[in-house]
Amino acid sequence: MDVIETIQQRRSTRGFLDKPVERETLERLLSLATQAPSAINLQPWEFVIVSGEEKKRLSKVLVKRMRERNISCGPGAKKQLPEHFVERQRRLLECILPNIPEDTRFDEFINEGSCNFYGAPTAVIITLDKAFSSARLTDIGVAVGYLVLAAHAMGLGTCPIGLITAFDDDIREQLNIPDEKQVVIGIAVGYRDESSPLNRARSERVPTSDVVKWRE
C-alpha cells in the first residue's frame, strides 16, 4: 500500500473482531515500528505485548481502577481550552455518539473502552526508561506514528490510548515492568470489525490553513 494512501485512509479502530493477531504478524509490525528515527539513535522505546488471558486480566484491573478512582479521558489541558479545540472534540463526539448503545453515555463508552482497549485481542504498552528526560517522548511519538501506519498497511486496526497512563503503577505490577520504566501510552491492535458502525465514523480534519503558519 502506498504510504500516502495509508496516511489518508487510517483512522482509529474502536470495534475489533474476536480474532487473535498471529505472533509472526506482531513481530513484523514491531520490526517496522522500530524503524522510526530517534535522537542520536537512542531508540529509547520498549514494547510490552499483552495478548490472550494476560490482556483480559490487565483490562479487568484497569476498568476496576478507573471506576474506583473516577478517572476520565480528557485533553490533558492545564486550563480552559480555546473554543476551536472544543469544536474539534465536538466533531468526534458527533461521529461516535450515534453509534454507541443507547443506554451508554459517551464518557462511559470512551473510558471503559480505553481501559479495555476496545476489545482488541492485543495491547501494546510502550514504556520509557525514567533515566531519560521528557524530550525523549518525542521519539516515542514518532514510533507510535510508524506503528499505527504500518498496522493499517498490514490490514490491522489500531487505537492509541493515553488514559492508561493514569494507572502506571497498576500496569507495572500486573505486567512485571520494572519501576524504572514509565508507561507512556498503550495501543489497541487487532483486526477491524468492518460491520461495526463505530469503524465507519470519521471525524474530518481541520483545513491545514488552521494549523499551519507560514513565515517567509
Lookup: cell for 97: 455518539
Q: Is residue 93 part of a domain?
A: no
Q: What is the pLDDT of residues 55-102, one digit of tens each?
A: 999 999 999 999 999 888 877 666 788 888 888 888 887 888 888 888
Q: Nearest to residue 124, comparing CAs of 5, 11, 194, 34?
A: 34
Q: What is the pLDDT of residues 146-189, one digit of tens each?
A: 999 999 999 999 999 999 999 999 999 999 999 999 999 999 99
Task: Count each helix (H run) and each strand (E run) in the chain, helices first.
Answer: 8, 4
Q: Is residue 76 part of a domain?
A: no
Tell me the CATH number at 12.
Answer: 3.40.109.10
Q: Is residue 87 part of a domain?
A: no
Domain tally, the chain? 1
Q: Is residue 54 part of a domain?
A: yes
Q: Give the domain extent around 28.
A: 3-71+115-196
Q: Is residue 90 part of a domain?
A: no
pTM, 2 dp: 0.93
Q: Is residue 201 part of a domain?
A: no
Q: d(Cα 204, Cα 130) in Å, to the nearest integer?
A: 36
Q: Is residue 106 part of a domain?
A: no
Mean predicted lDDT score pLDDT of the chain = 93
Pairing of strands 157-161, 181-190: antiparallel
Q: Nearest to residue 190, comparing CAs of 164, 138, 152, 139?
A: 152
